[in-house]
Structure 1
Amino acid sequence: MSVSISAVHVVVDDPDAAVAFYRDVLGMAVENQVDQGGFRWVTLSPPGQPGIQLVLSHPRAGRSEADGEAVAALLAKGELGSVNLRADDLDAVFERAAAHEGAEVVQEPTDQFWGVRDIALRDPAGNLVRIEQAR
């Protein structure tokens, strides 16, 4: 038996800004876009990994009004957790991120005591994105 990651959901308040970040900074490809109920879900995949999907959705999409408001409030505070990724060229990713308007650099490339070198960014919605490169 094997289990693998199929999709990771990331809540964003501006799908266009989020797509620009994940596509232009992180090199992911837009695989699908679905409009439903006045909202849009966007699915992206990392290069060479079409079986792994990052799904961007709005805080109010598919939720009750009260739940949507609660999720939107957590998103505005940057409290929805993080996305952890791995890159083969961390410095190149950092350079693209530092030059992109929608990316906020939280931590420059740093060697961590647990054996990785990583960076930390916030996407345009404020989600924390940590990207590591094994030493």
Structure 2
Amino acid sequence: MNLSLNWITLRVRDLEASLNFYHSILGLPVDRRFESRGRQIVMLGPEGQPKIELIQGTDPALKPECGVSVGFEVESLDKAIENLNNQGIPVARGPITPNPHLRFFYILDPDGFEIQIAEHS
């Protein structure tokens, strides 16, 4: 079996707040937005890459403390921290350097899910 990751679903309380975070702050392009079974859904991510699927709900299916995080890679961790700080997004944890070739930190999305921002060298 040959699998490729298609999307990761996050059930969010406030779709517009989450859309602002992932699109306006993190810069993920909106792939499509639609309604299914009465729920608003937004798919975000660059063409040809796995997507983040945001589904409007009243109670997230996963609690933020469940241990699930979403990771993104950047060219410069320091620039990412500065950019996020300028937008009022504080670093929740880190930066952490587990080995000489990896540095990362975590921020929180509007529902409290951990978002890891990593730099590989």
Percent sequence identity over aligned pairs: 24
Note the C-alpha offset of 1:95. 2.0
For 2:30 and 2:60, the matched residues in 1 are separated by 28
For 2:37 and 2:114, the matched residues in 1 are separated by 27
**Corresponding position of 1:120:** 106
Q: Which amino acid aligns with 2:99?
A: F
Q: Which amino acid aligns with 1:84?
A: G
**Corresponding position of 1:24:** 24
- List alignment gaps of at least 5 residues for structure 1: 61-68
Residue in structure 2 matching 1:58, options 38, 42, 56: 56
Runs of 4+ off more than 4 Å: none
For 2:13 and 2:87, the matched residues in 1 are separated by 18
**Corresponding position of 2:116:** 130
Q: What is the number of residues matched between the two proteins?
A: 120
Query: Does the CA-based 8 Å contact 1:15-1:58 persist in structure 2?
Result: yes
SS of the aligned residue for 1:92 comes to helix
Query: Does the CA-based 8 Å contact 1:117-1:133 persist in structure 2?
Result: yes
For 2:2 and 2:37, the matched residues in 1 are separated by 35
Query: Does the CA-based 8 Å contact 1:26-1:93 persist in structure 2?
Result: no
**Corresponding position of 1:84:** 71
**TM-score, scaled to structure 2:** 0.80
**Corresponding position of 1:9:** 9
RMSD over equivalenced CA pairs, Å: 2.4
Which deviations, in whole Å up to 9, do the C-alpha atoms of 1:25-53 show, x marking residues without a partner?
2211011111234421110014xx43421
Note the C-alpha offset of 1:85. 1.8
Which deviations, in whole Å up to 9, do the C-alpha atoms of 1:70-104 show, x marking residues without a partner?
73xx53xx224211221222222222222334x44
Residue in structure 2 matching 1:99, options 79, 83, 86: 86
For 2:117 and 2:99, the matched residues in 1 are separated by 15
Q: Which amino acid aligns with 2:86?
A: A
- List alignment gaps of at least 5 residues for structure 2: none
